[in-house]
Structure 1
């Protein structure tokens, strides 16, 4: 069982969120530890599942899919087979960046990267509309990303 996070754990997480490649010695200095205890804390945070992986961020425009589209999807039915089938289909489509099962008017929010309106039309015709069980979809092109962080890290608990 994991113990509650203290202020140093949270400082480690915040630092790694902005620079996942920071050398351990520099991380230790930033959070006020020596290298060995810092390394042990990072390993514990990994083992306890607070840190689930490390990755790089990419320039979507340089990769040839500069437009981000948010698609609201409503399914025909909501039985387990349709939900599982839809989830599996989304997992197989490379342009799909994120998928959220939601409450409200639509069943899912799907975040997709495409190359302009022509790329979006191709995505719709050749991929999304081929997925069985979709009753309705509504799309919005994003204009600009104002904030993008990989996770919310709550403030330290009082006395933590």
Structure 2
């Protein structure tokens, strides 16, 4: 799908403010409301815009302790990776997991109600047949920056 400067600007604005009104969005990109909103619908239909949502401050709702864990598996084959990734998907306390290159295989973020809860979870993982060789735990003491879905037009133009 070819995106022009209007499409790119729409995406930049909506990534920062998904609740912007049709008229304010149109004004921000210097188009009238109908053509602007047709572009938004086209971007939605093409799957470029997957949906809209709210960023929740979960700390206000439930106090959780974030813990990052580096994990290295014993075996490095498709079956081992699939088994580990299935366990990750089946563990609700895991909020993020990425496979990485380098000295470890995965970085996993747990959000547990207590450190004891996290420790029980990792102990269960270690005695399971998932094949963890070693792990290193990092307890988060302060969140410096939270992930954001906002993008800039410069990111989109490249």
User: Do they superpose with TM above 0.5?
Assistant: yes
Are the structure 2 counterparts of residues 59 and 123 from structure 1 closer, same or farther at C-alpha, using a change threshold of 3 Å?
Answer: farther
Q: Tell me the SS of whatever aligns to 1:62.
A: helix
Is the 1:89–1:131 Cα contact (8 Å) retained in structure 2?
no
- Does structure 2 retain, via aligned residues, the 8 Å contact 1:114–1:120? yes
RMSD between aligned residues: 2.3
Contact 1:71–1:110 (Cα < 8 Å) also in 2: yes
Q: How far does residue 100 in structure 1 lie from its aligned partner after superposition?
A: 0.8
| Aligned equivalents of 2:105, 2:116: Cα separation in 1 | 26
Q: Superposition pairs for residues 142-157 of structure 1, below 5 Å?
A: 142-147=140-145, 148-150=147-149, 152-153=151-152, 155=154, 157=157
Task: State the match for 1:92 in structure 2.
Answer: 90
State the Cα distance separating 1:75 from its structure 2 match: 0.9
TM-score (norm 1): 0.81
Specify the alignment match of 2:139 in structure 1.
141
Question: Structure 1 regions of 5+ residues with no counterpart?
Answer: none
Q: Check conservation: 2:16, 2:150, Cα contact below 8 A.
A: no
SS state at 1:93 partner: coil
State whether structure 2 residue 14 is matched by structure 1 residue 49: no
CA contact (8 A) 2:12 2:151 kept: no
**Greater helix share, structure number:** 2
Please identify, of 104-113 and 128-137, the stretch whose mean Cα deviation from structure 2 is larger. Answer: 128-137
- Aligned 8 A contact 1:74 1:108 in 2: yes
Which residue of the partner structure matches residue 11 of structure 1? Answer: 9
Q: TM-score, normalised by structure 2?
A: 0.82
